[in-house]
Amino acid sequence: MRTRLALVGLAILAFAGLPACRKKSAEPKPDLLANAYGAEPDWNDPQHIIPLSYTEAQGKRLFYDKCVWCHADATPAGPSNRSNLTPTPPLLNDGATLNSLSDDYVQNIITLGGSAMGKSAMMPPWGRTLTQDEIHELISYIRAIAQPPYQPPVRPGPKYSVK
């Protein structure tokens, strides 16, 4: 008797559960957060999604934490104070301005600040806030989102052959 009751109970539970299960598998919800740091829409063309490597994604996280307030993103009128700053900080996807600067120079200006590099002191030094690895991550993010795209300088081949 008890087993029969239990079986009926199980059957009811199974049927009650079924429609809910079906509905779930029919419309899987996209996980909006899953890829949030793994890609960045091109600021000049939101239809173009730029995939980010792990290092670049770390840079993206740091950019939206520390830099967006002055440098702005795709929405210069958005959360930033960019329009009030003189000189106006370059948008960090501005390839025309940033592509010609070497990684060493960019690493230095982020670490030491604008005044140490003959630029405006409005660009603060980050060397005591961020590690060199984090600054490297920021640079790889800046390079990844650059428009026109960043071309790394051609490096000379190995000087010595193994033979």
> What whole-number distance in Å separates Cα of residue 16 and Cα of residue 21?
9
- Minimum distance, C-beta of residue 48 to ligand HEC, in the bound complex (Å): 22
Applying CB under 6 A, which residues contact ligand HEC? 66-67, 69-71, 85, 87, 89-90, 97, 101, 106, 109-110, 114, 119-120, 122-124, 126, 138
- SS3 of 89-131: the string is CCCCCEHHHHCCCCHHHHHHHHHHCCHHHCCCCCCCCCCCCCC
By beta-carbon proximity to ligand HEC, the closer residue of 70 and 116 is: 70
- Minimum distance, C-beta of residue 149 to ligand HEC, in the bound complex (Å): 17
By beta-carbon proximity to ligand HEC, the closer residue of 9 and 76 is: 76
Q: Which residues pair with 40 in a beta bridge?
A: 50
Neighbours of 140 (CB within 10 A): 20
By beta-carbon proximity to ligand HEC, the closer residue of 28 and 118 is: 118
By beta-carbon proximity to ligand HEC, the closer residue of 54 and 69 is: 69
- Minimum distance, C-beta of residue 66 to ligand HEC, in the bound complex (Å): 4
> What whole-number distance in Å separates Cα of residue 11 and Cα of residue 38?
44
> What whole-number distance in Å separates Cα of residue 92 and Cα of residue 73?
8
- Minimum distance, C-beta of residue 130 to ligand HEC, in the bound complex (Å): 6
Token pair recorded at residue 121: 């002191």
- Minimum distance, C-beta of residue 45 to ligand HEC, in the bound complex (Å): 22
By beta-carbon proximity to ligand HEC, the closer residue of 129 and 151 is: 129
**Sign, Cα dihedral of 59, 65, 69, 74:** positive
